[in-house]
A and B are shown apart, each in its own frame.
Chain A
């Protein structure tokens, strides 16, 4: 094979990395290079998306694989052993140079490095740790680093990775065990969850140590995350939400990413060829949001799914679906209701609820007041009582759904 230059390798190894949905650069510690040494900074709060691709995904990090050669044969993966895709491999030094030259031009927040497994799990992990070590120690890089850890790698190596990285992640890959067995026969759910548990413990240990000794090293300050593929196995939305919630609880995850299965070049016959509607992925993210910020329990989200199919509606969002099922919880009085009741109103976001709570100490809110605090009052009206508004007639109507559901556009159902 002819020698590939760095740009050719980048084309192959970025293409191979794009099926990982995560690109977050948020939630780490505050670091700067104001002292004139090193380069880079991170913020505690939101990350920065430096560009958006036409697939609507944010480009925040240089997201690449170290190599796309792999000894595993996972059917959903473009890099599986039996795929005919062109192979390439970066050296650690090449990744370091690329990261720094992109970073200096303000293209990226940092690096997200993953890899196919070559040689052994430990060998692969060592190579990835070397990239992070070199960035941090040889170049004093203070930007964001996300490392994908290899489930079977030695815990000592994972520990080293955590000392350099802001975030670690391991993908659970599929929401059901049966799906994992079918599509990733060499991967083990037990080992994946064992590795996540190990990372959780290491994060907890180092944060304890830092409470006692300021000088104790940090370990993955932006926590750990995972990803599951949607639509490649038989899991329903109810199954997925329940699984995600259990992962959040058991392993203290910062994020669970959902990735709608999408066709890959040179697909395995084991894979379904039709992608699920992208809207399904969107509805799952919305329900994830409801659980993380709106005090919905997994059971609440499951209650919003169709009782027979276990799927969330595609034409309306899960919050509205819940409200239409639990009509008895509405209307909610904006002037009296507690925060948790306001958060259940379709169309009221966390910020709008905070503004309502603040404003109502000063005035009895009328519909026009609420309208100033929200995007669309039309959607809200059937669910609210305000000083000058009572929706009795409206909310008892059997045909409420067509009143509040968005006017149907052509869904992506038939796009493929």
Chain B
């Protein structure tokens, strides 16, 4: 049994010299024990044959292997030296096997290297210096607890960046001290050796709290990149629970305030929205249609009517409810005692969907995709107008409003609460009345329709 004792846990050179000699002598991996440091005064240190003196000339290994080894030796897993040696022996026989990325051993070592690189990156990211006064000059001192043996390997980064400052990095295993000219190593430290605070931390916390957007809380995304294990040495993380706890209230506060304080520019906003809708291409219906038929009526109307889609005449006129169904609707409104000039009238779908039959354009029912593409507009209209009562005329309008398939017969005649405020009433579309062949039935249905409109009108006084 050969025992190799390396000077430090990150002793790449020591491992390489020993591995070269052992491999030269053909020693198999299971006959080597790798240990780190202080063998002489360690009771549990193993005694055994030291590695043989190299007798054969040095051999070469692929550059990719050394790059891998450089990271792997920094890992905290005690098996790392042995695993690397096992891989080394295989590469002597088959140098190209470093490309066999599906090999379990290589995969495991690549995993080690990945964890080490991540630890190195997180140290660069999450280490925090605190300024202290030392012999009349500032010194910046940090306390950091890495997971792997990365501190020495990471020193170069801090030298590149902070060479003009005097700094110390304290970790449990090792400390680094830079005086502006030389880098000195010291023994491991404890958190108590590091300074307790820095007045600038309060300013930094102010920044951290202010840059956070309470309207888009994504705790999982934060934890994925900044796991809790790092939090204890980062001053700003103390704020996290409070920020999350108050976020919901801050967001709903913003929305509530915007809802109650109706902007003075609602009319201008509506005109701009109508203008934008004129160029809508959200679904293919804009192609054969003449124009977008936007809603119309006062933007402060308490009562809103939503139809299905513009018909042949609406498509040409650019106004909702002006064709035969519109005339029927006007008549019913008048009988229900509602002034059309005081209500907002619009459609669930803003372009005319039709089938050309000879010279006639025959109405074609919009499908679920078209309704959902057009929902964006009706939502904007509803957000601007904020009607107390919205009446859905027919199944398409009801579907657009409630976001689900609705059976008119079941939902008719009662108020349905809408999630963003206000209530919905559901009734038939006036064109349904036009299609009823039986005169008596049509009369009766018309009466029910007028009654529905009257009840909706009564809800807004």
Whether B203 pairs with A7 at a CB distance below 8 angstroms is yes
Interface range, B side? 35 or more
Whether A102 pairs with B204 at a CB distance below 8 angstroms is yes
| CA of A181 to CA of B276, assembled, Å | 8
**Residue of B whose beta carbon sits closest to that of A102:** B204
Whether A361 pairs with B99 at a CB distance below 8 angstroms is yes
Whether B259 pairs with A10 at a CB distance below 8 angstroms is no
* A25-75 CB contacts (< 8 Å) to partner B: 32-41, 48-59, 62-63, 75
B232: which A residues are within 8 A, CB to CB?
Answer: none
Taking A54-B243, A104-B162, A265-B254 as contacts, is the C-beta distance between A181 and B275 under 8 angstroms? yes
Whether B128 pairs with A270 at a CB distance below 8 angstroms is no
- Pick the residue among B130, B142, B161, B247 that contacts A40 (CB under 8 A): B161
Whether A272 pairs with B380 at a CB distance below 8 angstroms is yes
At the interface, yes or no: B322 with Cβ under 8 Å from chain A?
Answer: no
A358: which B residues are within 8 A, CB to CB?
Answer: 99-101
By secondary structure, the B interface counts as helix
At the interface, yes or no: A400 with Cβ under 8 Å from chain B?
Answer: no
**Residue of A whose beta carbon sits closest to that of B263:** A269
* B31-79 CB contacts (< 8 Å) to partner A: none
- Pick the residue among A32, A39, A269, A306 that contacts B265 (CB under 8 A): A269
- Pick the residue among B102, B217, B247 that contacts A372 (CB under 8 A): B102
At the interface, yes or no: A118 with Cβ under 8 Å from chain B?
Answer: no
Whether A54 pairs with B217 at a CB distance below 8 angstroms is yes
How close is B313's CB to chain A, nearest CB, in angstroms?
Answer: 25
- Pick the residue among A15, A48, A269, A356 that contacts B125 (CB under 8 A): A48
Whether B243 pairs with A233 at a CB distance below 8 angstroms is no
- Pick the residue among A51, A183, A359 that contacts B208 (CB under 8 A): A51
Whether B384 pairs with A14 at a CB distance below 8 angstroms is no
| Interface residues as binary, B359-391 with A (CB distance below 8 Å gives 1, 0 otherwise) | 000000001011011001101100110000000
Please tell me which stretch of B278-286, B325-333, B336-344 contacts chain A, meaning at least 4 of its Cβ atoms lie within 8 angstroms of it.
Answer: B278-286
| Interface residues as binary, B91-106 with A (CB distance below 8 Å gives 1, 0 otherwise) | 0000011011111100
B259: which A residues are within 8 A, CB to CB?
Answer: 273
At the interface, yes or no: A121 with Cβ under 8 Å from chain B?
Answer: no
Taking A51-B208, A361-B99 as contacts, is the C-beta distance between A56 and B218 under 8 angstroms? yes
Whether B255 pairs with A273 at a CB distance below 8 angstroms is yes
At the interface, yes or no: A253 with Cβ under 8 Å from chain B?
Answer: no
Interface range, A side? 35 or more
At the interface, yes or no: B418 with Cβ under 8 Å from chain A?
Answer: no
Whether B101 pairs with A10 at a CB distance below 8 angstroms is no
- Pick the residue among A38, A104, A365 that contacts B102 (CB under 8 A): A365
B204: which A residues are within 8 A, CB to CB?
Answer: 102, 105, 107
Whether A10 pairs with B265 at a CB distance below 8 angstroms is no
A183: which B residues are within 8 A, CB to CB?
Answer: 272
Whether A50 pairs with B373 at a CB distance below 8 angstroms is no
At the interface, yes or no: B159 with Cβ under 8 Å from chain A?
Answer: yes
Whether A33 pairs with B283 at a CB distance below 8 angstroms is no
| CA of A356 to CA of B280, assembled, Å | 45
Whether B219 pairs with A7 at a CB distance below 8 angstroms is no
A416: which B residues are within 8 A, CB to CB?
Answer: 251, 255
At the interface, yes or no: A286 with Cβ under 8 Å from chain B?
Answer: no
Taking A182-B275, A182-B276, A308-B369 as contacts, is the C-beta distance between A263 and B251 under 8 angstroms? yes
How close is B115's CB to chain A, nearest CB, in angstroms?
Answer: 15
Whether A307 pairs with B282 at a CB distance below 8 angstroms is no
Whether B367 pairs with A308 at a CB distance below 8 angstroms is yes
* B197-229 CB contacts (< 8 Å) to partner A: 198, 200, 202-204, 206-222, 225-226
B369: which A residues are within 8 A, CB to CB?
Answer: 306-309
How close is A354's CB to chain B, nearest CB, in angstroms?
Answer: 8
At the interface, yes or no: B134 with Cβ under 8 Å from chain A?
Answer: no
Whether B100 pairs with A363 at a CB distance below 8 angstroms is yes
How close is B76's CB to chain A, nearest CB, in angstroms?
Answer: 22
B383: which A residues are within 8 A, CB to CB?
Answer: 272-274
**Residue of B whose beta carbon sits closest to that of A239:** B281
Whether A263 pairs with B276 at a CB distance below 8 angstroms is no
B203: which A residues are within 8 A, CB to CB?
Answer: 6-7, 10, 98, 101-102
**Residue of A whose beta carbon sits closest to that of B202:** A7
How close is A260's CB to chain B, nearest CB, in angstroms?
Answer: 7
B277: which A residues are within 8 A, CB to CB?
Answer: 234
| CA of A104 to CA of B158, assembled, Å | 11
- Pick the residue among A19, A37, A49, A369 that contacts B213 (CB under 8 A): A19
Taking A309-B373, A362-B96 as contacts, is the C-beta distance between A105 and B131 under 8 angstroms? yes
B420: which A residues are within 8 A, CB to CB?
Answer: 273-274
| CA of A265 to CA of B372, assembled, Å | 29
| Interface residues as binary, B139-152 with A (CB distance below 8 Å gives 1, 0 otherwise) | 01010000000000
How close is B232's CB to chain A, nearest CB, in angstroms?
Answer: 14
How close is A37's CB to chain B, nearest CB, in angstroms?
Answer: 6
At the interface, yes or no: A336 with Cβ under 8 Å from chain B?
Answer: no
B244: which A residues are within 8 A, CB to CB?
Answer: 54
How close is A55's CB to chain B, nearest CB, in angstroms?
Answer: 5
| CA of A370 to CA of B101, assembled, Å | 10
**Residue of B whose beta carbon sits closest to that of A35:** B163
B99: which A residues are within 8 A, CB to CB?
Answer: 358-359, 361-362
| CA of A274 to CA of B381, assembled, Å | 12
Whether B257 pairs with A372 at a CB distance below 8 angstroms is no
* B174-217 CB contacts (< 8 Å) to partner A: 180, 198, 200, 202-204, 206-217
| CA of A363 to CA of B101, assembled, Å | 10
At the interface, yes or no: B268 with Cβ under 8 Å from chain A?
Answer: yes
Question: 14 A-B contacts, Cβ less than 8 Å apart?
Answer: A38-B164, A48-B121, A54-B244, A104-B129, A182-B272, A183-B272, A260-B216, A262-B216, A269-B263, A269-B265, A269-B266, A273-B420, A308-B373, A358-B101
A: residues with CB less than 8 A from B are 6-7, 10-12, 14-15, 17-19, 32-41, 48-59, 62-63, 75, 98, 101-102, 104-107, 143, 176, 178-179, 181-183, 233-234, 236, 239, 260, 262-275, 278, 306-311, 355-356, 358-359, 361-363, 365, 369-370, 372-373, 416
B: residues with CB less than 8 A from A are 96-97, 99-104, 107, 121, 124-131, 140, 142, 157, 159-165, 180, 198, 200, 202-204, 206-222, 225-226, 234, 236-237, 240, 243-244, 247, 251, 254-255, 257-259, 262-266, 268-269, 272-273, 275-284, 367, 369-370, 372-373, 376-377, 379-380, 383-384, 420
